[in-house]
Amino acid sequence: KQEVTQIPAALSVPEGENLVLNCSFTDSAIYNLQWFRQDPGKGLTSLLLIQSSQREQTSGRLNASLDKSSGRSTLYIAASQPGDSATYLCAVKRNDMRFGAGTRLTVKP
Amino acid sequence: DGGITQSPKYLFRKEGQNVTLSCEQNLNHDAMYWYRQDPGQGLRLIYYSQIVNDFQKGDIAEGYSVSREKKESFPLTVTSAQKNPTAFYLCASSIVATSGSPFQETQYFGPGTRLLVL
């Protein structure tokens, strides 16, 4: 059974800092991996989708990488802003969709 | 605007009562999903449907029921058999990949319904 782990569970950084969020999974046989953002009490917003054949995807200040063989993905956020404060979730997909518990990010002004 | 709507935003259930959560989408997606989110845990799949009048159980289907009579709608009923229903419930939709798997494509989520027990 696929297990998805996100470390750290919470992270607090000053504004302007570059940061990395980690996601690991136990079964490398995946179709793709997706990163989401969730604001408190809200639904999920898709940030980036990486297909299993890809190594990375970029959108604005966000860059997600995928190393399928080692079961790892990272989400890099450049020049963090207070508006980036949210919980970030990763999910891996094959015959179902398995989510990590998320990393709660706080960016302090 | 295309999107997914969930109602109500908050729902209160009395012991022994069945309650129904609404999910509607106008994205013309074939697949729809229900997830449950508990504090400190990842989302867990309750049910999903790839086509009208058909649906499949997820990991935690016990105590829940669904119907898919229309492409746009996928209501979830939390029955009295669900002994710990307090959670945040999220509905999602997606297209179905040409391979037939609904999980290959990007899922789009609604704003959620928080269910509380009185």
pLDDT in tens, A66-100: 999 999 999 999 999 999 999 999 999 988 889 99
Model pLDDT, residue A95: 81
B103 vs A contacts (CB less than 8 Å) = 31, 93-97
CB A74 within 8 A of CB A24: no
| Nearest Cβ partner for A44 among B41, B45, B90 | B90
Q: Cα dist. B86→A32, B8, B67 in Å?
A: 31, 15, 21
Mean pLDDT on A6-11: 94
Q: Is B75 on the interface with A (CB under 8 A)?
A: no
Question: Looking at the partner chain, which of A42, A94, A99 has a beta carbon nearest the beta carbon of B43?
Answer: A99
Asked if the peptide bond before residue B8 counts as cis, ω within 30 degrees of 0, the response is yes
Q: With 90 as the cut, is the pLDDT of residue B102 above it?
A: no
Tell whether the model's pLDDT for residue B101 goes beyond 90: no
**What are A21-43's pLDDT values in tens digits?**
999 999 999 989 999 999 998 99
Helix, coil or strand: residue A54: coil
Do residues A24 and A72 make contact, with C-beta atoms less than 8 angstroms apart?
yes
Are B104 and A93 an interchain contact pair (Cβ–Cβ within 8 Å)?
yes
- Yes or no, beta carbons of B103 and A49 under 8 Å apart: no
Which tens digits make up the pLDDT trace of B4-63? 999 999 999 888 899 999 999 999 999 999 999 998 888 999 999 999 999 999 999 999
The SS3 of residue B72 is coil
pLDDT digits (tens, 9 = 90+) for B72-99: 999 999 998 888 999 999 999 999 877 7
d(CA A16, CA A13): 9
Q: Contacts of residue B108 in chain A, CB cutoff 8 Å?
A: 46
Q: What is the pLDDT of residue B103?
A: 79
Q: How confident is the model at residue B117 (pLDDT cuts 50, 70, 90)?
A: confident
pLDDT of residue B104: 78
Q: Examine the pLDDT at B1 and tell me if it is beyond 70.
A: no
What was the pLDDT predicted at B77? 97
